[in-house]
Amino acid sequence: MAEARKRYLSGNQPSGLLHLGNYFGAIREHIALQDEGEGFYFIANYHALTTIRDAEKLRQLTFDAAVTYLACGLDPNKSCLFRQSDVPEVTELTWLLMTVTPMGLLERAVSYKDKISRGLSAEAGLFNYPVLMAADILAYQSDAVPVGEDQVQHVEITRDIAGAFNRAYGEVFKLPVYKLGVAPYVPGTDGGKMSKSYGNAIDIFAEGKALRDIVMGIKTDSTPVEAPKDPAKCNIFALYALMATPAEKQEMEARYRRGGMGYGEAKKALVAKIESYFADARARRAEWASHPDRVEEVFRHGAQRARAEARLTLDAARAACGVA
């Protein structure tokens, strides 16, 4: 008997335009996995409500996130791509899970602790964020969740919540595992981890003057042009290496080490590399963006498939705890 294909589940929050960190840290792997298993990928617009208070902006960013996935190679015939808000079963499941979730578990969540430690206000939405994320994962009986190391805790919290429910009501939920890919550390323009919230991101489809301005603003040290430089300590090189062929990477390393190349020249090489690396995807993006009806059709089919799976799980959970 053939082994069942693994089911992968992941989402991306449309709190800003998707950037190189999103691509190399998640999107690229999601696309690769669609040939290895069954992929469910959603645009997490409910999660984005913890930071975005502009309805039209959220609609546009949700659309743009979907277009980015499609342009970068996600095949809606292989993977299920949908809007989180199109699956109301998940929000009902969230409440069922909240009734068994310990407060202490949520108080230990990094996203909540980080905001509190910085003296910022944290709404109930942020506090309960991990429960909605658990519902997102458990609704589709996912086997594995592709994440970066900073998201491992959310999968562990999901397992804890699912375990608590199963102990109380019987084996309803599959306990998923996290899947760490080969995603590299993607530095932002300030040297920290690239993030929309840190204002140090390079958008995937930035081009022309906008791209040049961002790249030229990457922080560097004061090593003079004529002096040798260590590529391992340079954020420009780290970004270039993500997109370069082995031969191009080796050549650039050699130029760094022998001196005579300034950081300005390295930045120009990075601009050219970003534009060439995403050239085909940029053309596909323009095509998808000019046909919003086609994107909406992808969402519609994705929601139908996602809801069918989530309904089965919700019905089982409702029956188990006595509300059906």
Distance CA 188, CA 158 (A): 29
Can you list the domains of the chain with their CATH numbers? 7-186+291-321 (3.40.50.620), 206-277 (1.10.240.10)
Beta-sheet pairing, 79-83 with 38-43 = parallel
Q: What is the pLDDT of residues 278-308, one digit of tens each?
A: 999 999 999 999 999 999 999 999 999 999 9
pLDDT in tens, 34-73: 988 999 999 999 999 998 999 999 999 999 999 999 999 9
Q: Is the pLDDT of residue 324 over 70?
A: yes
User: CB count, 10 Å around CB of 288?
Assistant: 18
How far is residue 242's CA from residue 185's CA, in Å, rounded to a whole number?
10
CB atoms within 10 A of CB 120: 9
SS3 for the chain is: CCCCCCEEEEEECCCCCCEHHHHHHHHHHHHHHCCCCEEEEEECHHHHCCCCCCHHHHHHHHHHHHHHHHHCCCCCCCEEEEEHHHCHHHHHHHHHHHCCCCHHHHHCCHHHHHHHHCCCCCCHHHHCHHHHHHHHHHCCCCCEEEECHHHHHHHHHHHHHHHHHHHHHCCCCCCCEEEECCCCCCECCCCCECCHHHCCCCECCCCHHHHHHHHHCCCCCCCCCCCCCCHHHCHHHHHHHHHCCHHHHHHHHHHHHHCCCCHHHHHHHHHHHHHHHCHHHHHHHHHHHCCHHHHHHHHHHHHHHHHHHHHHHHHHHHHHHCCC
| pTM of the shown model | 0.92
Model pLDDT for residues 91-103, shown as the tens digit of each residue: 999 999 999 999 9
Question: pLDDT-derived band of residue 3, with 50, 70 and 90 as boundaries?
Answer: low
